[in-house]
Amino acid sequence: MIELTLAPGLQVQPLPQRALYWPAEATLFVADVHVGKADVFQASGIPVPGAVNAADLARLSALLACTSAQRLVILGDFFHAAASQSAQVLARLGLWRRAHARVEILLVTGNHDLHAGPPPADMAIVACGEAVRIGPFHCVHAPEPNPPSYTLCGHMHPVAILAERAGGRYGTRSARLPCFHVGTRQMVLPAFSSFTGGKSIVCRPGDRIIVTTGDEIFEAAIG
C-alpha cells in the first residue's frame, strides 16, 4: 500500500483499481467513469464488448466493499453521452445503486456530463456543479492553473510511459500505464473507466507519479 501525505495530518491512499481513498473520512474518489460508453459505440455500429461497463461497476462495488467507504465522490464524466442514459444502461445502473444505497454519492460536473445530463433523481446521486469543497479538498473535473487549495481532479486520463531495458535482441520495451499525477497543489486521478485512452504526463519539479497495473501500484522514478 502507498500512503501519500498531502499536508500535516492529511493522508490519502491511491489504489491499484484507479481510485483514491481518504481513510479519515471514509471517502472514495474516482474520475471519468464514462458509464454507457460501450453502449454508445455499439449503437453506432462499432463492435465493443458489452461487458466493459458491467466490469467497471463490479470493480467499483469491490472498492466500496473493501474500503467500507461511506461516501463516493465522482470527479466528473459519470455518463459518457446523452445516449448513455438508455433504458438498458439505467436499469443496470439502478441495480448497482440499490446495492450501495447506504453510500452517499456526489458528482462534480465534467464536460461529458454537460451533454449527458444529470443522473435520474431516483439514483440519489447529488450533482454538485463544477466544483465542490470536501474538507480540505477543492474537487473539480479538469486541472486548474491556480487552484485555491489542494485540488483533486481528472479529465486528463494520465498515463506514464515506462521503458525497460530488456537487453539482447529484444532491445527496449515500453508500456503505457494509468497513473496518479501528484503535484504539490493538485492531483490528477487516472480514468476509472477501462475503456478510455490516455494522455502522457508532463512532470514539474516536485511532482510524483504513482503508476497502477490494475493489480499493483508503485511509484515511478522521474528523470
Q: Which residue shows C-alpha cell 461511506? A: 70
Higher pLDDT, 85 or 77: 77
Task: Output the DSSP codes for 97-166.
Answer: HHHTTTSEEEE---HHHHHH-PPPGGG-EEE-TTEEEETTEEEESS--SS-SSSEEE-SS-EEEEEEEE-
| Residue of 208 and 49 predicted with greater confidence | 208
Segment 201-207 shows an average pLDDT of 90
Half-sphere exposure of 203 (CA within 13 A, CB side): 17
What letter represents residue 216's amino acid?
E
* Distance, CA of 116 to CA of 119 (rounded, Å): 9
Nearest CA to 114 among 139, 145, 141, 154? 141
Task: Name the least confident of 21-25, 30-34, 78-82, 218-222.
Answer: 78-82
- Which residue shows C-alpha cell 473535473? 141
Query: Tens digit of pLDDT for each residue in 123-169?
Result: 999 999 999 999 999 999 999 999 999 999 999 999 998 876 444 43
pLDDT digit string, tens, across residues 158-175: 999 887 644 443 345 678
CATH entry, 9-220, from 2.30.30, 3.40.50, 2.30.110, 3.60.21: 3.60.21
Amino acid at the residue 171? G
Contacts of 202 (CB under 8 A, 6+ apart): none
Q: What percent of the chain has pLDDT over 90?
A: 65
> In whole angstroms, how far apart are CA 71 and each of 6, 130, 172?
20, 18, 43
Domain range annotation of the chain: 9-220
What pLDDT does 5 receive? 95
Confidence of residue 83 (pLDDT cuts 50, 70, 90): low
**What is residue 174's predicted lDDT score, i.e. its pLDDT?**
73
**CB-CB neighbours of 173 under 10 Å:** 10
User: Collapsing DSSP states into helix, strand and coil, what is residue 2?
Assistant: coil
pLDDT digits (tens, 9 = 90+) for 17-51: 999 999 999 999 999 998 876 665 555 554 555 56
